[in-house]
Chain A
Amino acid sequence: DAGVIQSPRHEVTEMGQEVTLRCKPISGHNSLFWYRQTMMRGLELLIYFNNNVPIDDSGMPEDRFSAKMPNASFSTLKIQPSEPRDSAVYFCASSLRELALNEQFFGPGTRLTVL
């Protein structure tokens, strides 16, 4: 298995532009998580899905952020419009939500820079 796949790996954009981050979870995993990591705030959970359904989006910082999971193998995190304070590394992670199997695996991350 290729593991969790994220694209792009790096994104540089200008303030006000729309940014779309993509994630492909590990095949067979039914939970997907989006995290944001910064030096100041550490690793923050933004939103998570179970069986493609958003369960908890309380970590989404503002209405500028939205996430979708149209099927079991794809999710997007969109920021519109982007701002310099959105600059961070965004990780996607997936896990298999079963009684004894809930290890979480991270993707390589997308480093976002908003100028």
Chain B
Amino acid sequence: GENVEQHPSTLSVQEGDSAVIKCTYSDSASNYFPWYKQELGKRPQLIIDIRSNVGEKKDQRIAVTLNKTAKHFSLHITETQPEDSAVYFCAGYNFNKFYFGSGTKLNVKP
């Protein structure tokens, strides 16, 4: 089956700086890669996703890039704000199953 690895496990940045979280996957059949944000005590919520036929997608301060050849994808958050502090999960999707990374705890210091 698919194996999704996520790095780093924790990330601390100063407000206004950029944050980058990286994930790799093992199964080339994976074709959809969502990113979820989970605030403390809340449910994971989809913030951005990318499909395998696209290399990059941007939505305001967040962007995701996908390198199918290298089997890795990344989440980029620019101009970070304290409310961006949360745990972020990447996932790969194939054959109707979502395989989640282990999560990155992002701390944005004011």
Interface positions of A (Cβ within 8 A of B): 31, 33, 42-43, 45, 48, 50, 55-56, 91, 97, 100, 102-109
Contact = CB atoms under 8 A, between A and B. Distances in A.
A48 B99 CA distance: 12
Contacts of B103: 42-43
Contact of A106 (B45, B97, B102): B45
B96 A31 contact: yes
Contact of A108 (B36, B43, B99, B102): B43
Given A42-B102, A43-B103, A104 B96 contact: no
A67 B9 CA distance: 32
Contacts of B89: 43
B100 A103 contact: no
Contact of B43 (A55, A97, A102, A106): A106
Contacts of A104: 34, 46, 98
Interface residues of B, number: 19
Given A102-B32, A103-B34, A103-B49, A45 B44 contact: no
B93 interface: yes
B97 A56 contact: yes
A105 B36 CA distance: 10
Nearest to B102: A42
5 contacts: A43-B100, A45-B97, A50-B96, A100-B51, A103-B46
Given A42-B102, A43-B100, A45-B98, A102 B93 contact: yes
B21 to A, nearest CB: 15
Given A97-B96, A103-B49, 18 more contacts: A33-B98, A43-B89, A43-B100, A43-B103, A45-B97, A45-B100, A48-B96, A48-B97, A55-B96, A56-B97, A102-B93, A102-B96, A103-B34, A104-B34, A106-B36, A107-B43, A108-B42, A108-B43
